[in-house]
Structures are given as C-alpha cells and as structure tokens.
Structure 1
C-alpha cells in the first residue's frame, strides 16, 4: 500500500508525494500586490514539503463570475505572466502547482452580494438555464436576486474558449496542471446538474460540455494534466428532486476518465451554498467580530438580513456537523471504475488516516482549512510515523471561512488553535532540512 510520502504521477507530471493543499480562497485580487499575496499564502505549503499545491479558484472572464470578493482573474495574459513568480517559488522547493479555473454562474456575487449588485446594477448572472423554481422562490422572497443571462449555444462555446485561453496562459506562466472547479455550485457543476441544466441543445448533457472543455484545453496545453472535481449533490435539501446522487457521480467520473481527464476529485456538495463543503462547528467567533460587521451588512444587505443569514448558518451546523473523511466512500467507489488517480479531500485530518485511505479510497490525500491554521503543516505530517497519531490543530470551527464573504483574507482566527500552532513552532515542528 502506498504511503503519504511516496511519489505519484498525474498524467506526465511527477508529484514528489501524495499530500496536496486543496484549493482555498486566497482573496488576492488582481492588484499590484496580488502576486506577492499569493506567494506569501501558497509558498509555505511547498516549503514544508507539500507535493502538490492547488491555487484556489481563479475566474476566467474579465467581468462577472466571482463567487466571493477578491477572487483573482486570469483572463489577462499580462497579469498571468506575472504569476511566474509564484510558480517559480513553488518549484524552488521541489513542489508542483496546479491552477483552479472557475466561473460562478448563478452563484456569482451578482446573485447574493447586495453591495456588489448596487455597484454593478447592469451586470447579469451567467446561467446554464432559467433558474429552477426553488431559486426563483428565494428571489421572490428577497433572499437572492436573479437577473440571469441564459447562455445561447454560441455563448457556451465562448465560455469554453475563455477557460481554454486562461489555461493556456497559466501553463505558459509555469503552472504544472489545470484543475477545473467542477463542484461547489460553480458553473461547471451547473452544467452537470439536472437541478440547473434544462437545456435543449447539445449541452443539455453536461458531459458534452466537459468533453468540449477538455478538448479545447488539450488543444492549448498539450499533455499538461487536466484534473476536475466531480460532484454528488446528495446533501441537497429534500425539496430538490432533480439532483446528482452518488451513483451519478461515479458514472460521470468514469466518463470523464474515458474522455481523457488525468485525475478526478469526487466531492459531495449541495446545489445551493451551505456548509456541506465546510462541515464543522457554527463559527460564533467570526459572526461576533465587530470589525467584520460593516462588511457583513454590505454583503447581505443590512444588519437585519445579516442576522437572518447568521441564523441559517447556525441551523446548518447541526445538519453538517464534522465527519472524518466524509467523501471517502464516494471516492472509493469512483476509484473502482477509473484508471486515473483519485484525489480525496474533505475531513482528512490525521496522518494515520491518510495512509489507511491511500491505495484504498484514493491515490492522494488533501486538506484545505487546516492550511489556514498551519501554513507549514506538511512538515509535521510528512515527518510523522503513521502510527503516532499526528493530526492537524484545525478544530473545524469555520471562523476562517465566514469572514471571506466580506473579502477578508483566509486565516485562522481561533486563539486555542493559534496557541497550539505556536507551541509547535517553538518546538521546531515546522522546520525542514
């Protein structure tokens, strides 16, 4: 059975070990300091030994499509060329880096962020189809705001071109691979999902969209690895009847591997934004933070509506309590039917757990939020024995995630976690040769 520190191959890319930093919101934007922010955020993972770093979702269009404030756009070749400083920094430590490409579609800020809508009154969401009735109901009740532009067949081809062009520029800047944001309610999931996709043209089958996306990228980036998330919408609310189940996700993964995708990342995710992808505790500290109240009010349209969102967040914390390796059984099923690497993330928190999952449920093990708590986490995990119980200090409290709706940077804000990290720092646990 493989171990965490064994190498693995994704397409032609040799990854030095099987630990990866899963995509996170960096909120670096596109300003003069954007590249420096990304280097400061991502380099510590590579410096501590992570084999593969995924840069969090980057937007492929010049406008629209951002699911959160401060997301970096990669439509401009001049800006992307500057990102070679980031890829060089990762490579200097012997690591590899893939960029994740995304467009938010109906989950974009035009839908939920009140301040953004006020500043961009003419901007529409890009939609695969007319929003389903459940979302139109939320619109009518004032919880969301929909004014969608439903893509024509030509628009879909244009969007694919945007993905392919962005991918080409990123590879020219030194990225080792492309990661498509095929889950978390972005537009790729919307094409695959029967909840969102009710088209009557060739793209009524989301696999056709994925096939075209793969082929156009392959034309631009050659044999550079192309990885994608594969969604199961099992956590969707009961009122949603049309959704992807685990069986559908397994079938989609097999089709994507046959098309030529070099690796897949099976994940369970809802059809609306909830805690299904950040399972854990209700982030009470983040909601109480006085320095964030103005940002919350701007995002949600006032303090009263902020309290409503906060209440819903509290309710969801009961439904989506933390569960260790919550995607493992889905990943295991996918691994049985594909001949490409299967990557596992979501609730992976312990070195011994990772070694048990490798070769069984997955070929690589990844984490996201724990790297907010310990940017140089890999040094502790890779230097540990699988039997000594080494685990992350992250408490799955989500105090790092909620503030990002205001554009705040992703970082751990929980004193007890930071104290434990400080003790490890004092003991030299993050030092590397």
Structure 2
C-alpha cells in the first residue's frame, strides 16, 4: 500500500470514530468510569434485572442517561449483602415474657410507619426458615406505589434476629433456647398467632398510636397459615381490612411435607461465607432475584463460634428439621379458615396446580381474589417484588373502606319513608280542616 493510500485510510477511520464515539470515551484510562462499568457488568451479566451494554464504544450517552452509573443505584457486587436500612426506616425490639414456660422472647421487627394521613399498615409474616427481610424488596416497591403506606415485617421466634431465652430459677443470666433440640422449640400455630398479635399491639404502644391503622395481613407459606389464623380468630378486631396468602394452600402443603425431609438433606448445611450462601440461593433458583437474595439471605445464616468446620463457619440460623413436629399443625384446616375469616381475601400463587378442591370451589363462587405469577418460584415476593407489590396495593385499594360510599341501611330508609308518610297525612288533615272551615 502506498503512503497516499495509508494516509487516506487513517483519515477515514479517524472521521468515523469521531462521529460514533465521544472524545472522553476514547481517552478513558483503566481508572475511568467506563472500565468500572465493564467490571460491574462482568459480575452481573447473568442478573435479569440489569441490561447489557457490552458495546460501549458505539453508545453515545445523552445528558438524560447516566450511562456510567453503577447498576441498581450503586448497590455494589451481585454477591455482596445489602443493609436493611435501604428498605425500612427503623427496627424495633419488643420484649414478651411468658411466665408459664419461663421464656423471654425479644421480637425483632422491621418497620416503616404509615403516613399521618391515614395510610394502611401492611403486616408481613415470612415462611419457615426465612426472616422479615424476605419482604424487604417487596416493601420497597409498595412504598413506591403507595407512599403513605406503612410496612411492618417481623422475624418469627427462632428466626432472624428474634431471640428466645429461658429464665433460670437461680436468677442466673438468661440462656438461649437450643434450636437443635425440638423439645426447646414452640412453633405451634397457636403460639405464632399470639406472637403476631403481640407484635402488632406492642408496636402500636411503642409508636404511640392512638389506634391501629387499617391492617392488611400478608403471609408467605407458614406465614400465610399464621395470618389466616389471626384473621379467623378476630384477635386484631375490625382493623383487619384484608389478608393475603402467598403460595400456600392446605392440600399441596400437606403433600409437600412428605418430601420436606428429603429436600433438607439435599441442601448445603454450611457455607464458607455469606457471599457463597447468596450464590447458592440464586444458582439453585431458590430465590430468583439477586437483589432480594442479597438482602434476605444474610439474615438466614450466622457464623458458628467455634466452627465445627473452619472452612465453612456459616450455618443456618433456623434448624428446619427440628420444626418437623409442627408441620401438620401449621396447615391442617387452612383452606376452610381462609374462606371463613372476615375481610378481603387474596390468594397469590406461582401456579394453579396448587389449588385444592375446597379452594377451587370457593374461587368459582367468587369468595376470594386469585392471582397467579407463573414466572415466579415459591418465594413469590422475592422473585417478583414489583409485581407482588402492585397486586397487594391494588388489593388494598379495592378493600379500602375510606374510599367507599356506603348506601344507607334498610332501617334508615324505612324510618325516612315513615316520616315522609306521616308528614303527608298531617298536611292532608290540615288541608281538609281548612276546607271545612
């Protein structure tokens, strides 16, 4: 190639690059934002929430698009844990003493109070083995759609940061109740019912609310059984506006119990780090949303000291195998209670195959609202937090009493008709009297 041809080719290439790529991108150094973006994409290329932008050399950013911003609001690597403070405004520790069993329970709850304008309070109860942070991502989405709403998400006893201690007769310091021994656990439905009612009432007292806001009870799996039992018992009174059960029905739950022990034997019993625990949950598709896994999984594990296996010191906080004596107690009679309890009813499932006969009949009779998210797994609120939040907010709005203009009662209409009839008789009598005069 002649020198003239080489010069022509170089000038043509330079013109093409200047039209397609901004000067600052061409001069990017290894420490520039463009390189940090590529590193972040390499870590999160499989995350469904993040879009791909691998061809950065051909993208011209506009002032309205922050092309080089870290994905997901700068929340870091897809394997790093997130803080609960990104999703709730405060947490509470509520102490409950049971003198009959000589136990002290310090309930831990995550809370974002409702607005003073009278917003509802969504009360969330997680499933077995989970924690209150199972609803963190969903809570964030609810607040986006309904800023006046409040969220209360609790850690059940022997889950998350809720502590159960046994009081000694000798006046010694309380000792944690062992979770390895099922006899030390009390996770019966009746106990979990009392715990939920206590948490709601004690939160009201601690926050100084004159009265409870309208309540929407939301429960996932075991939590669905608990909130349904509370709604049926009426222990929270008329403030329970509605209740929603996520991916649990009596028939399929009882069938699943047969394979529960097999599942527990197949999952890892310990992890080398929190990050590896998050990775296992997402790779196994136990939780399909990485953001939700990063906030919820760390609360499921704790570092054993001293560790049985120094290479894998992180173990499950809740020993699910020890809860086996309560499995049937949680779900027997669930469908009937769900249909009979007062208030609006929502059943949100990952598949219609989970419906049992009683619920199928109730659904055909229009006794409750049914929503299906087939793209989600069992942890619906974690896999699809935005869609779950939209369904819950719409569900609340359909049951919001303040938005209803109720027709007058029949007795009031009859009284009004009688008064009008009496006035007509009186006027007629007076007119007749005047005519006779």
**TM-score scaled to structure 2, two decimals?**
0.31
* Higher helix proportion: 2
Higher RCO (CA 8 Å, separation ≥ 6 residues): 1
Larger radius of gyration, structure 1 or 2?
Answer: 2
